[in-house]
Amino acid sequence: MKPRPAPPPGFEEQRHPALLRLAHWAMALAVLTLIFSGWRIYDSSPIFPFRIPEAITLGGGIQAQLAWHNDPGVATAIAWHFAAMWLLAGAYLTFLLYGVFSGHFRRDFLPLTPRSFLADFVAALRFRLGHKLGEYNAVQKLFYWGVIGLVALMLTSGIAIWKPVQTAPLVSLFGGFQGARLVHFLGMSGLFAFLLVHVALVLLVPRTLQSMILGRARMRIHSASGAKE
């Protein structure tokens, strides 16, 4: 494992290596495609007493799709869903392997203790949680571990719904086919909530986006109080 190069004195710095960025943006694209196409698939057989408005689902205009191939866009949505599922599986595996073998998870996502989480969570509620470029706070660490777990849950519950006969033991772990559908829907809701909070936090500290796009962001540390340029 290569040590992270130290930033020049008076600066803090964040680096996101190319493989990590590639895996991250592929996961982001895949998750967005999965969510919007999943909403159209959900609408064809809702498990709750509501439907998602067609305009915010992926699958094409219902009338156009019906005229084209006598299907209200569900087949198109399933095609998007499967393509994005493979992209997510590949990117997720890349992210996991990179995270483990480069030492990134150990260095940047750990340590994480209930005490550090509580302290940072309370500070965040009081708007007193500082952000140091290149260092994740305990709330972020828990969020990232949470989303890693959620993606695993989405992939496994998705496989259970896709091939329920071949994966019968997996289906029974989810409490049956309907249980797997429920877990898949609730997992999607969790991922969607993660996305909203994640993007809001990125907007609060846009310098991190520079690093996630270009690979590096640097910031001068102004004073001992931690004020930044």
Q: Contact between 37 and ligand HEM (CB under 6 A)?
A: no
Q: Contact between 212 and ligand HEM (CB under 6 A)?
A: yes
Q: What helix, strand, coil percent values describe the chain, rounded to 5? A: 65, 5, 30
Q: Contact between 188 and ligand HEM (CB under 6 A)?
A: no
3-state secondary structure of 221: strand
Cα angle at 161 between 157 and 163, to 5 degrees?
Answer: 115
Report the site for ligand HEM in 41-100 (rule: CB under 6 A).
none
Which range binds ligand HEM by CB under 6 A, 61-69, 165-173, 178-186, 194-202?
194-202
Query: Residue 208 Cβ, how far from ligand HEM at the closest point, in Å?
Result: 4
Q: Contact between 20 and ligand HEM (CB under 6 A)?
A: yes
Q: Contact between 202 and ligand HEM (CB under 6 A)?
A: yes
Which range binds ligand HEM by CB under 6 A, 54-62, 63-71, 166-174, 201-209?
201-209
Chain-centre distance for alpha carbon 41: 20
Options 36, 39, 42, 144; binder of ligand HEM; rule CB under 6 A? 144
Encoded one letter per residue, x for contact with ligand HEM by CB under 6 A and - for no contact, window 102-121 reads: --x---x-------------
* Residue 2: half-sphere exposure toward Cβ, Cα within 13 Å: 5
Options 151, 154, 180, 188; binder of ligand HEM; rule CB under 6 A? 151
- Whole-angstrom Cα Rg for the chain: 21
Q: Contact between 137 and ligand HEM (CB under 6 A)?
A: no
* Long-range Cβ pairs for the range 144-152 (8 Å, 24+): 144/109, 145/109, 145/112, 146/190, 146/194, 147/191, 147/194, 147/198, 148/96, 150/187, 150/190, 150/191, 150/194, 151/27, 151/31, 151/88, 151/92, 151/191, 152/92
Q: Contact between 157 and ligand HEM (CB under 6 A)?
A: no
Which range binds ligand HEM by CB under 6 A, 1-9, 55-63, 143-151, 163-171?
143-151
Q: In whole angstroms, what is the distance from residue 30 CA to residue 35 CA?
A: 9
Q: Which residues bind ligand HEM (CB under 6 A)?
A: 14, 20, 24, 27-28, 31, 104, 108, 144, 147, 151, 195, 198-199, 202, 208-209, 212
